[in-house]
Amino acid sequence: MIALDLTEKRFGATVILGALRLRVEQGEVLGIAGPSGSGKSTLLRILAGVDTRFRGTLQGPSRRAMVFQEPNLMPWRRVIDNIILPTGVDAATAEAWLSRVGLAGYGAHWPGQLSLGQARRVGLARAFAARPELLILDEPFVSLDAGRVAELLDLTAALIAETRPAVVLASHAAPELDRLATRRAQLTGRPARLSEGVSAVSGGSGKAPPFPARIATAAARPFPQAGQRPALRPGGANAPAMGGAGAGRGPLGPSAVRGPMFRGASAMASARAGHSPRGGRVRAGS
């Protein structure tokens, strides 16, 4: 579950996001639409715990992953390392996820040898290998032709149905929102606010079940405090976690991993497991 009660987000004197409340439960997919420059990516970075310079409160799980507008693969590392290093999974698990996204046998390739569609599949494998409780998708199918988008939508819908994280998807494309979202919202205005009344969408990846009380009362690892930059070293104490020691074992092996999200080509890095998720609620800004 992710819960945001935002007072405002500003860059200098300019208020980008106004007051809004957002909550996404396990198994739900919230689709957020809005024009370019409306603040969708800014909102997603707040939810991911990457941007902590805002006024409001944020509560979320320890295991979270983000699929960016660009694949953000490390070009100096082979494909398999682009999954192992950010998530901490072993080679066999990384190969299994590559196979799951249709890239069996591509582990030894370099990112520069991949097409854009293949690189995006690696990005999906990397995200789901972390077994996230919160998955953030920032226009993950941009710049692909319609046929490739349809294939990746089907693949993403299947992976979400299998792993059932809370998902927030931002997209300009109505077909993508129609295919994946179980709820929808619109981000508009200056400063931007989420539209009132989020409606259910037919054709989404599935209707969210009632939120289990055991999850609702479970403690989540605190997000960084306002103004505190995420640690850039593996396993930094304040870094947004890709995984936690509480992660379960799935059919593809253990996923007890954690580590910070990175900007740029390195995208994310991780340290090995060894700590249990801890609970808390963060008040950002003042």
The answer to whether residue 249 scores a pLDDT higher than 50 is: no
Alpha helices in the chain (DSSP H): 40-48, 81-87, 91-100, 116-129, 146-163, 174-180, 213-216
Lowest mean pLDDT among 72-76, 114-118, 202-206: 202-206
* pLDDT confidence of residue 51: 93
Question: Residue 108: exposed, middle, or buried by beta-carbon count in 10 A (0-12, 13-18, 19+)?
Answer: exposed
Rounded distance between C-alpha atoms, residue 66 and residue 168, angstroms? 10
| Domain parsing of the chain, residue ranges | 2-208+223-249+257-270
The pLDDT tens digits for 217-247 are 222 333 343 444 443 333 333 333 333 323 3
**Between these two residues, 53 and 244, which has the higher pLDDT value?**
53
Question: What per-residue confidence (pLDDT) applies to 228?
Answer: 44
Q: What is the pLDDT of residues 149-205, one digit of tens each?
A: 999 999 999 999 999 999 999 998 999 999 999 999 999 899 999 984 444 343 444
Instruction: Report, as an integer, the average pLDDT of 25-51.
Output: 93
pLDDT for res 231: 39
At 230 the pLDDT is 40
88, 124, 157, 206 from 256: Cα distances, Å: 8, 18, 24, 26
Higher pLDDT, 264 or 134: 134
Q: What is the CATH number of domain 2-208+223-249+257-270?
A: 3.40.50.300
Percent of the chain beyond pLDDT 90? 61
The type of residue at 116 is L
Q: 8 or 203: whose pLDDT is higher?
A: 8
Whether the pLDDT of residue 34 is over 70: the answer is yes
Q: How many CB atoms lie within 10 A of CB 19?
A: 13
Say whether pLDDT at 30 is over 80. Answer: yes
Q: How far is CA 234 from CA 87, 243, 246, 281, in A?
A: 11, 12, 18, 23
> Which pLDDT band holds residue 37 (cuts at 50, 70, 90)?
confident
For range 87-114, the mean pLDDT: 97
